[in-house]
């Protein structure tokens, strides 16, 4: 079970901070799956195969509900499923970081390894967009302490 699902209550208790900081870039298939499941189209194309979810005016992800749960939980993008394990792209190299949030101490080594594998499978253009193109990611996550792997 993905971390984000097992610890849903923790993210809700933290008022889903991540979902108020940025909306994740997603693949074409993820966009297709969200639309096929009947949810609203909040997408904008970045490059072929990579889409952004347009944030609301207040910066929140449009799928974040008032009770801090995710409207598209069952079809949420992989980036959201693996959070707070985050694929990193820096100096032309892929890596992994974990943000030290309320979830951090709850993740077992086994769970981390499984989630890391999932995060490493996220297509490179998505990861590049997250780190290289989106200044939001760099700026807004400065306040977290990172663990690098």
**Site residues (vs ligand SF4, CB under 6 A):** 10-11, 14, 16-19, 23-24, 61, 63-64, 70, 72, 76, 80, 83-84, 101-103
What is the DSSP pairing of strand 146-148 with strand 25-27? unpaired
DSSP codes of every residue in 32-99: HHHHHTT----EEEEETTEEEEPPPTTS--TTB-TTS-BTTGGG--HHHHHTTEEEEEETTEEEEEEE
The nearest distance, CB 54 to ligand SF4, in angstroms, is: 11
Nearer to ligand SF4, 23 or 128 (CB): 23
Nearer to ligand SF4, 93 or 96 (CB): 96
Nearer to ligand SF4, 43 or 83 (CB): 83
The nearest distance, CB 92 to ligand SF4, in angstroms, is: 27
């Amino acid at each position: 079970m993905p971390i984000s699902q097992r610890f849903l209550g923790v993210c809700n208790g933290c008022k889903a901070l991540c979902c108020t900081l940025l909306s994740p870039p997603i693949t074409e298939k993820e966009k297709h799956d969200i639309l096929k499941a009947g949810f609203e189209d909040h997408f904008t194309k970045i490059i072929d195969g990579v889409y952004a979810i347009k944030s609301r005016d207040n910066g929140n992800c449009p799928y974040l509900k008032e009770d801090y749960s995710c409207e598209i939980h069952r079809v949420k993008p992989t980036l959201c499923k693996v959070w707070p394990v985050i694929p990193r792209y820096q100096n032309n190299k892929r890596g992994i970081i974990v943000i030290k949030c309320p979830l951090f101490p709850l993740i077992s080594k086994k769970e981390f390894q499984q989630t890391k594998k999932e995060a490493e499978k996220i297509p490179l253009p998505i990861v590049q967009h997250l780190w290289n193109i989106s200044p939001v990611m760099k700026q807004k996550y400065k306040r977290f302490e990172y663990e690098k792997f």
